[in-house]
């Protein structure tokens, strides 16, 4: 189980700043926090080493690259083949998130595709995997809220 580590107020503020704009330089962050750039660097390095910051990435607008269709795919699978199914699904580039859930379905996938044809082809691939009993798909009409920031 993950150990909960207490952060001081400076680390909390630093995480808030990075979640808003990870493009800022150490100098810019230092000015906001009244710290030297080297102190900012050391604190960020420590937060990465401790696993608070998993990675720093650019948030890309999928629609600008032609990915206009998002869907949730619910899977009923043979639990004995769970690992094999998950390993295969991980390899599909259109699958952006895999959730292991409770309830009627074993897995929920968030997929991002260019159009209905690509979604249909992906669903055929997933449905034909050994161990997948059935799928149910919901197309996302619009995203009302999508927030990746964590309250610090």
| pLDDT for 59 beyond 90 | no
Q: Which pLDDT band, with edges at 50, 70 and 90, does 95 fall under?
A: very high
- pLDDT score at 4: 66
Residue pair 88/135 in contact by the 8 Å Cβ criterion: no
Ordered by where they begin, the domains of the chain are 9-49 (1.10.10.10), 62-140 (3.30.70.920)
Distance CA(40)–CA(26), nearest Å, equals 6
Cα angle: 35, vertex 53, 147; to 5 degrees = 105
Q: What is the pTM of this model?
A: 0.83
Averaged pLDDT for residues 108-130 = 98
* Of 57-61, 94-98, 105-109, 141-145, the least confident: 57-61
């Amino acid at each position: 189980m993950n150990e909960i580590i207490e952060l001081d107020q400076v680390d909390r503020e630093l995480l808030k700043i990075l979640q808003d704009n990870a493009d800022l330089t150490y100098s810019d962050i230092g000015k906001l926090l009244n710290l030297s750039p080297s102190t900012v660097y050391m604190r960020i390095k420590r937060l990465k080493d401790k696993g608070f910051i998993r990675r720093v990435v650019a948030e890309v607008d999928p629609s600008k690259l032609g990915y206009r269709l998002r869907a949730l795919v619910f899977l009923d699978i043979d639990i004995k083949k769970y690992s094999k199914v998950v390993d295969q699904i991980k390899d599909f580039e259109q699958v952006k998130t895999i959730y292991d859930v409770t309830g009627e379905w074993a897995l929920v996938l968030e997929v991002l595709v260019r159009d209905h044809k690509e979604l249909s082809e992906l669903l055929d691939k997933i449905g034909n995997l050994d161990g997948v009993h059935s799928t149910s798909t919901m197309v996302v009409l619009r995203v009302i809220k999508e927030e990746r920031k964590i309250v610090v």
